[in-house]
């Protein structure tokens, strides 16, 4: 039998590997058709290796006129299975919105169609989703309902895609019912066999290692996060500078937390002693506010979010002496000019699909200053801490913060900076 397996953009896409193996073990051929969003969760190389067929995603495979025919797929298939099926794909199927290869294949399908939904519990329970499912059922589509359990959002409820073994059982039972066996001709009686010699006892087999189940994707898998960290140094002459006491510890704790959750992290840091061995972190070391602005504005367009944790100088000398300034006269007068505002620049660049997080280290009127900065710089939320709190701010291994969003204020007690980083990334994951 020939089976078309449709895969959509859901975290449950990794289960498609097990489903393919279930079909192939039964001797069926599998052709994968995947949406562009689906390729963000599982690679076509993996799927092609399991099916021994190229994965189909786009209408045109090359620029030489070669194209993938959804009509031919509809004629070739004995069944079409869409697992996982997102709420978006189910809606498009119900209303004939043929904007990708998977939907056009479904609309051309002559064979039975099976749908295994996967989504958050509120999306599953929504009236529009249920109406779309009823439309598909009325048109003969078999819905393999999701199970209840812990979802990608960490909520518990119905919406978890049914296990691949159960999906395969439903599909194969249907396919087998379409192939009634012809009655067998009666066999001629066999001659009695001579008794066999007794076999020697077999040596006991070594126990097999336990099978490791597939691990679910981490919440920031496929995401790219920009983080600024540490101070900036604004040169006065070859040996002196204007700077601050930032150690970079908070920024590096945020970077490591993002990497542990699966993100690729771009860290732009000023002069700090911090290092990291966490995989997935790329360091760009700078010195001045201007250099940090240039690096941040260059990297941000390719990122899903930015966390601006660096203590960037607000002013820099108008002129930098070529030689060391000697101690002469009654004093030294410096004329300073404002530096580039990184938060404002990224806030103005930010696309609707990007998120921007700022920090506010204050010494007085902390809450009002942080709220004003949140609005003025187009931030999604801001992390406020105060030098008036013991154990918070520069150089410490601990911090005490309040996360401020446009609608709420969430205070936290004094914690280690790694624990504070976890609280901040929890908030960012919810936004993404």
Number of CB atoms found within 10 A of residue 160's CB: 23
**Whether 132 is catalytic:** no
pLDDT score, position 282: 95
pLDDT score, position 97: 93
Q: Identify whether 81 is part of a domain.
A: yes
Domain count, the chain: 2
**382 in the same domain as 257:** yes
**233 in the same domain as 111:** no
Q: Residues 44, 57: contact at Cβ < 8 Å?
A: yes
Residue after which a domain boundary falls, among 113, 147, 177: 177
Of 87, 77, 80, residue with least CA distance to 12:
87
**350 in the same domain as 274:** yes
Residues 6+ apart with CB under 8 A from 40: 9, 222
pLDDT score, position 63: 54
CA atoms within 13 A on the CB side of 262: 11
Q: Identify whether 307 is part of a domain.
A: yes
pLDDT score, position 342: 95
Q: Respond yes or no on whether the N-terminal peptide bond of residue 84 is cis (omega within 30° of 0).
A: yes
Q: How, if at all, do strands 224-229 and 305-308 pair?
A: parallel
How confident is the model over 130-189, as pLDDT tens digits?
A: 999 999 999 999 999 998 888 888 888 889 999 999 999 999 888 777 655 466 677 788
Residue after which a domain boundary falls, among 144, 177, 210: 177
Q: Identify whether 184 is part of a domain.
A: no
- Name the residue range of residue 124's domain: 2-177
Q: Identify whether 194 is part of a domain.
A: no
**249 in the same domain as 123:** no
pLDDT score, position 164: 92
pLDDT score, position 214: 61
Catalytic residue, candidates 100, 176, 244, 323: 244
The average pLDDT across 275-296 equals: 94
**15 in the same domain as 123:** yes
**138 in the same domain as 77:** yes
Q: Identify whether 188 is part of a domain.
A: no
Q: Residues 144, 166: contact at Cβ < 8 Å?
A: yes
**How large a percentage of the chain has pLDDT more than 70?**
94
pLDDT score, position 361: 83
Residue after which a domain boundary falls, among 177, 201, 235: 177
Mean per-residue pLDDT over the chain, rounded? 89
Backbone angles phi, psi at 225, to 5 degrees: -120, 130
**377 in the same domain as 274:** yes
**231 in the same domain as 157:** no
**274 in the same domain as 148:** no
How confident is the model over 178-231, as pLDDT tens digits?
A: 655 466 677 788 788 788 888 888 888 888 787 676 666 789 999 999 999 999
β partners of residue 305:
225, 355
Q: Identify whether 192 is part of a domain.
A: no
The average pLDDT across 255-264 equals: 95
What confidence tier does 65 reach under pLDDT thresholds 50, 70, 90?
very low
Entry field: residues in the chain: 432
Which alpha helices (H) appear in 42-159, and where do they start and end?
A: 44-51, 70-76, 87-95, 101-107, 121-125, 127-138
Q: Which two structure tokens, joined as six digits, stand for 317?
A: 């000398």
CATH number of the domain where residue 387 is located: 3.40.50.10300
pLDDT score, position 426: 94
**173 in the same domain as 275:** no
How confident is the model over 91-127, as pLDDT tens digits?
A: 999 999 988 989 999 999 999 999 999 999 989 999 9
Q: Identify whether 101 is part of a domain.
A: yes
pLDDT score, position 62: 54
Q: Identify whether 285 is part of a domain.
A: yes
C-alpha to C-alpha distance for 37 and 275, rounded to whole angstroms:
35
CATH number of the domain where residue 154 is located: 3.40.50.1950
**144 in the same domain as 51:** yes
**264 in the same domain as 129:** no
Which helix H or strand E contains 216, and what residues bound it?
none
């Amino acid at each position: 039998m020939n089976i078309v397996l449709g895969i959509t953009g859901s975290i449950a896409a990794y289960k498609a590997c097990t489903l393919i193996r279930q079909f192939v073990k039964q001797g069926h051929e599998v052709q994968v058709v995947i949406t562009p969003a689906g390729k963000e969760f599982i690679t076509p190389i993996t799927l092609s290796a399991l099916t021994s067929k190229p994965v189909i995603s786009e209408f045109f495979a090359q620029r030489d006129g070669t194209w993938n025919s959804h009509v031919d797929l509809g004629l070739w298939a004995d069944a079409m299975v869409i697992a996982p099926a997102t709420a978006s794909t189910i809606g498009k199927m119900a209303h004939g919105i043929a904007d990708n290869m998977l939907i056009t294949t479904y609309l051309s399908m002559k064979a039975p169609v099976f749908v295994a939904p996967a989504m958050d519990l509120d999306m599953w329970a929504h009236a529009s989703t249920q109406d779309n499912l009823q439309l598909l059922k009325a048109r003969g589509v078999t819905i393999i309902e999701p199970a209840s359990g812990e979802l990608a959002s960490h909520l518990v409820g119905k919406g978890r895609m049914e296990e691949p073994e159960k999906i395969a059982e439903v599909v194969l039972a249907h396919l087998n019912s379409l192939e009634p066996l012809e009655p067998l001709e009666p066999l001629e009686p066999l001659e009695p066999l001579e008794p066999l010699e007794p076999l020697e006892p077999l040596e006991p087999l070594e126990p097999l290692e336990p099978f490791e189940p597939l691990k679910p994707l981490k919440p920031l898998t496929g995401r790219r996060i920009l983080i600024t960290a540490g101070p900036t140094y604004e040169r006065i002459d070859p040996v002196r500078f204007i700077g601050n006491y930032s150690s970079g510890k908070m920024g590096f704790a945020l970077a490591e937390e993002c990497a542990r959750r699966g993100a690729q992290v771009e860290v732009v840091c000023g002069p700090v002693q911090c290092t990291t061995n966490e995989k997935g972190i790329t360091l760009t070391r700078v010195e001045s506010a201007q250099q940090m602005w240039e690096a941040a504005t260059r990297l941000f367009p390719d990122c899903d979010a930015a966390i601006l944790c660096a203590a960037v100088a607000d002013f820099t000398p108008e002129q930098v002496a070529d030689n060391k300034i000697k101690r002469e006269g009654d004093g030294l007068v410096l004329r300073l000019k404002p530096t580039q505002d990184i938060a404002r620049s990224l806030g103005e660049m930010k696309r609707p699909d990007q998120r921007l997080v700022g920090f506010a280290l204050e010494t007085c009127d902390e809450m009002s200053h942080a709220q004003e900065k949140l609005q003025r710089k187009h931030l999604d939320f801001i992390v406020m801490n105060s030098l008036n709190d013991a154990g918070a701010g520069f150089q410490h291994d601990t911090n005490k913060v309040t996360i401020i969003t446009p609608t709420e204020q969430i205070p936290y007690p004094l914690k280690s900076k790694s624990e504070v980083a976890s609280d901040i990334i929890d908030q960012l994951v919810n936004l993404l």
